[in-house]
Structure formats: structure tokens, C-alpha cells
């Protein structure tokens, strides 16, 4: 089967003029692999089609989530992550309540519409109570006008429910690798890093009614094209509302650093991420997909490239600058020195240059999720 035949099968009416978008046909594992391996003209056709499908379904709108990196205190030690608890090489911090609320107010002033609260993983009572409080406080800003996404790792179903009832309505929990064997090559094999527990968390989030997001890193050591194809099929099977994927970036203070010479080049990891985004846009045309900051770290144009490949969400960092250097999940993270208002101008200009525009003052919910519920 040629790439054109596969693309036509997925979406026969991708143009904005099409009246009723037809339901996308399902892609098989083999077809996804062929698309992942596309080069030259074929690769260009894939990216062109993904952009057409996105523009037809979601227009040229980009949604913003003001990112608040609440704390780098973490009880886990994933083998890839720079803020893992076993890395003593930087200071641990937790923002004060005033700092968090200040960030959220700034997001509101800047017209971002939503905030995303992210943190190292903790599940003690003090943490759970604090987050409940902060969610409620953020909800008070301008009568609940800010949407709230949480990205706070694995928690009990009860905790997830409490935070949902407090006002959070989106939750991001990347599966990181949907292949159990690969999962245990990038996580310690212990009770704290249990693959089935992680799956169960994603299922809880879905059943509680969160717009649930998941995702993987691309270009991990030991990861194959079969793994990547299965990751995409996993997102489809779970019918998630949001996906975040970014290139793996080796961090010198982590165990996976030792494999840095055995993974694809940064350029290849970036390109594979873009293909993953493009193919998923064809498979799940109306979900929200983030142009992850990791893309921009690997390539200064990375975020724009991700938007052109099919992503529609950007998470500008609102964390006070003095803390950002201590939230280096991976090295050389982009925008660590930018001020929030600089970010905004920079984003508007960069997006206009590629024919996109920020939709200000809107929650920017996943269209796929809204239609389903
Ligand atoms: N490279 C790229 N992404 C990483 N993450 C963690 N460590 C790295 C790394 N070294 C991603 C994980 C996690 C998210 C918060 O950051 O996918 O879910
Ligand atoms: Fe698990 Fe940071 S320690 S992602």
C-alpha cells in the first residue's frame, strides 16, 4: 500500500470546505509503521495531510495553558527524569500559595484561559489537601473563568475525585511507554513505579470524567517503531481527550544518560515526534495535542514545527523565573530565562508567522471530549 493510499483511507475529505467531516477510518499497526518510516515526498504528504485535517476540524486556533511548576519535590526516581528524588544536584522548592495564585492571576490577565499545575509526585495528605485548596482558590479568580489542568502524577481514585470536585477538569498523566517491557527499562521495577498501577490511574481519570491526557517520550533507548505504533493505538483505544509527546532528552544526572550514544540523534528524535503528532492527528482528528517544550529545546523552531504537524496547544511557562532553573526535567530547557509577557509577544509573532493564532480568553477544551459528552 502506498503512503497516498493510506492517507486517503484515513481522511478522504480533509479540506476546510468539506461540509460534514467523515469519520476517520482506523489505521492498522502496519500502516502506522509505514507512515512512521515515510521519507522525502511521502513524509511531506503526511505532514501536509495532518495540517489540512487539523485546520478543517479545529481551525488555525492554538490554545494556551499557563504552566505553573509548583514543586520539584518528588518521591519517584524514573530513570530519565532530572528531578528524580535521587538527584541531589539542585535545590528543592515548593511555591507558596501566594506565588501559585499570583501565577494564575497573571495567566488570567494575559488572557490565557487555562492554567496547568504540574509538580513532582507526592501523595501525602498535606500535599493532597494543599492542591485541593489551591484548585479552589484558582477557581475563585473572576468567578471560575480559568480552566484548570493538573499534572501531579499517580494518586488514589479518591484524590483524583477530590481534585475534580474542587474544580480541576483536565488531568495529564503520560503513560511514558505503553509497552510494559519498555516501561520497565525506563523505570525501576518496584512498587513505586508499577506499570499496571499507572494504567489503572489513567482508567480512574477517564471514569471520573476528567478530560484525560496521556503521552509518551519519543526516541527512548530500546524503543522500536513497533512500540511507537502501539503507543498511538493505545491512545486511540483509551479514547483520551489530550496527548502530549516530546523527544526524549538525556539528562546527565540520570541512569539513562549512559545510553545517550545509542539513541537516534536529536534531529531524528524530533522528526519522529513530529511524525507521531501528524499520524495521531489523522487517527484522532479532534483531540488536543500539545506542542511540548521539549520540542523547542531540541530545535529552536520545534514548537512551530509541532503546530504545523498537527498540535494545537502550547504551555507557556508562568513559574517565577528564580525557580525555573530547579525544574530541569531535562537539560537546556527552553524559555527558562524568558519573562511571561515576553513569552506572549513571542508566541503571537511566532504563530502568526505560520498562519496560526492564539485563541485568548477561552478554556480551549478538547473538541473530541466535548462532542462525546
Ligand atoms: N526528556 C524528555 N522528557 C522528559 N520527561 C521527563 N524526563 C524527560 C526527559 N529526560 C517528561 C515525561 C514526564 C513529563 C513531565 O516530562 O514524559 O511525563
Ligand atoms: Fe518520574 Fe520525574 S521522577 S517523571
Q: Report yes or no on 162 lying in a domain.
A: yes
| Residue appearing with cell numbers 544518560 | 257
Pocket probe for ligand 2: among 69, 70, 78, the residue whose CB has the most ligand atoms within 8 Å is 78
* CA 247 to centroid of ligand 1, rounded, Å: 8
* Cα dihedral 152, 155, 161, 163 sign: negative
- Is 198 a pocket residue for ligand 1 (Cβ < 6 Å)? no
Residue nearest to atom 1 of ligand 2 (CA): 78
**pLDDT digit of tens for each residue in the chain (373 aa)?**
899 999 988 876 555 555 555 566 699 999 999 999 999 999 999 999 999 999 999 999 999 999 999 999 999 999 999 999 999 998 999 999 999 999 999 999 999 999 999 999 999 999 999 999 999 999 999 999 999 999 999 999 999 999 999 999 999 999 999 999 999 999 999 999 999 999 999 999 999 999 999 999 999 999 999 999 999 999 999 999 999 999 999 999 999 999 999 999 999 999 999 999 999 999 999 999 999 999 999 999 999 999 999 999 999 999 988 888 888 888 877 777 777 767 777 888 999 999 999 999 999 999 999 998 8
C-alpha separations of 344 from 55, 59, 65, 233 in Å: 23, 21, 12, 35
Q: Report yes or no on 2 lying in a domain.
A: no
CA distance 280 to 239: 12
Q: Report yes or no on 346 lying in a domain.
A: yes
* Cα dihedral 297, 301, 306, 309 sign: negative
C-alpha separations of 143 from 46, 139, 147, 169 in Å: 43, 7, 11, 15
* CA 16 to centroid of ligand 1, rounded, Å: 35
Residue nearest to atom 3 of ligand 2 (CA): 84
Structural domains of the chain, count: 1
* CA 176 to centroid of ligand 2, rounded, Å: 10
Q: Report yes or no on 16 lying in a domain.
A: no
Q: Report yes or no on 15 lying in a domain.
A: no
Q: Report yes or no on 25 lying in a domain.
A: no
Q: Are 112 and 360 in contact (CB under 8 A)?
A: yes
CB burial of residue 60 (10 Å; 0-12, 13-18, 19+): middle
CA distance 61 to 199: 31
Q: Which domain holds residue 147?
A: 35-372
Q: What is the DSSP string of 1-31?
A: --HHHHHHHH-S--STT-SSPPPPPPPPHHH
Between the two ends of the chain, the Cα-to-Cα distance in Å is 36
Q: Report yes or no on 3 lying in a domain.
A: no
Q: Are 71 and 65 in contact (CB under 8 A)?
A: no
- Is 81 a pocket residue for ligand 1 (Cβ < 6 Å)? yes
* CA 35 to centroid of ligand 2, rounded, Å: 30
Nearest ligand atom owner, CA of 74: 2
* CA 7 to centroid of ligand 1, rounded, Å: 30
Q: pTM here?
A: 0.95
Q: Report yes or no on 175 lying in a domain.
A: yes
The CATH number covering residue 232 comes to: 3.20.20.70
State whether residue 248 is helix, strand or coil.
coil
Among the listed residues 282, 276, 236, the one whose alpha carbon sits nearest the alpha carbon of residue 9: 282
Amino acid at each position: 500500500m502506498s503512503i497516498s493510499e493510506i492517507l486517503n483511507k484515513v481522511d478522504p475529505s480533509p479540506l476546510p470546505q468539506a461540509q460534514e467531516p467523515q469519520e476517520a477510518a482506523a489505521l492498522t499497526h502496519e500502516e502506522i509503521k509505514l507512515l512512521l518510516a515515510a521519507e522525502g515526498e511521502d513524509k511531506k504528504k503526511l505532514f501536509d495531510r495532518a495540517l489540512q485535517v487539523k485546520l478543517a476540524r479545529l481551525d488555525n486556533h492554538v490554545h494556551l495553558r499557563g504552566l505553573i511548576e509548583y514543586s520539584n519535590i518528588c518521591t519517584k526516581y524514573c530513570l530519565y527524569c532530572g528531578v528524580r528524588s535521587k538527584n541531589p544536584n539542585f535545590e528543592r522548592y515548593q511555591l507558596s500559595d501566594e506565588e501559585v495564585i499570583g501565577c494564575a492571576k497573571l495567566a488570567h490577565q494575559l488572557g490565557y484561559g487555562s492554567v496547568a499545575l504540574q509538580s513532582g509526585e507526592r501523595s501525602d495528605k498535606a500535599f493532597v489537601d494543599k492542591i485541593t485548596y489551591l484548585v479552589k482558590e484558582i477557581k475563585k479568580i473572576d468567578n471560575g473563568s480559568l480552566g484548570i489542568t493538573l499534572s501531579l502524577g499517580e494518586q488514589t481514585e479518591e484524590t483524583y475525585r477530590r481534585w475534580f470536585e474542587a474544580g480541576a477538569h483536565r488531568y495529564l498523566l503520560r503513560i511514558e511507554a505503553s509497552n510494559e517491557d519498555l516501561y520497565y527499562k525506563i523505570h525501576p521495577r518496584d512498587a513505586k513505579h508499577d506499570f499496571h498501577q499507572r494504567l489503572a490511574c489513567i482508567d480512574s481519570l477517564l471514569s471520573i470524567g476528567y478530560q484525560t491526557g496521556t503521552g509518551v517520550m519519543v526516541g527512548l533507548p530500546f524503543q522500536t517503531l513497533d512500540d511507537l505504533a502501539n503507543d498511538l493505538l493505545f491512545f486511540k483505544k483509551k479514547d483520551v481527550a489530550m496527548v502530549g509527546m516530546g523527544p526524549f532528552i538525556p539528562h546527565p544526572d540520570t541512569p539513562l544518560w549512559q545510553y545517550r550514544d545509542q539513541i537516534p540523534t536529536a534531529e531524528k528524535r524530533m522528526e519522529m515526534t513530529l511524525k507521531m503528532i501528524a499520524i495521531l492527528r489523522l487517527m484522532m482528528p479532534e483531540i488536543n495535542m500539545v506542542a511540548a517544550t521539549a520540542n523547542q529545546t531540541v530545535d529552536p523552531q520545534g514548537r512551530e514545527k509541532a503546530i504545523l504537524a498537527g498540535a494545537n496547544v502550547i504551555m507557556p511557562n508562568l513559574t517565577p523565573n528564580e525557580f525555573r532553573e530547579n525544574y530541569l526535567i531535562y537539560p537546556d530547557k527552553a524559555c527558562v530565562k524568558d519573562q511571561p509577557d515576553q513569552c506572549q509577544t513571542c508566541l503571537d509573532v511566532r504563530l502568526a508567522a505560520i498562519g496560526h493564532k492564539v485563541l485568548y480568553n477561552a478554556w480551549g477544551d478538547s473538541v473530541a471530549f466535548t462532542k462525546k459528552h
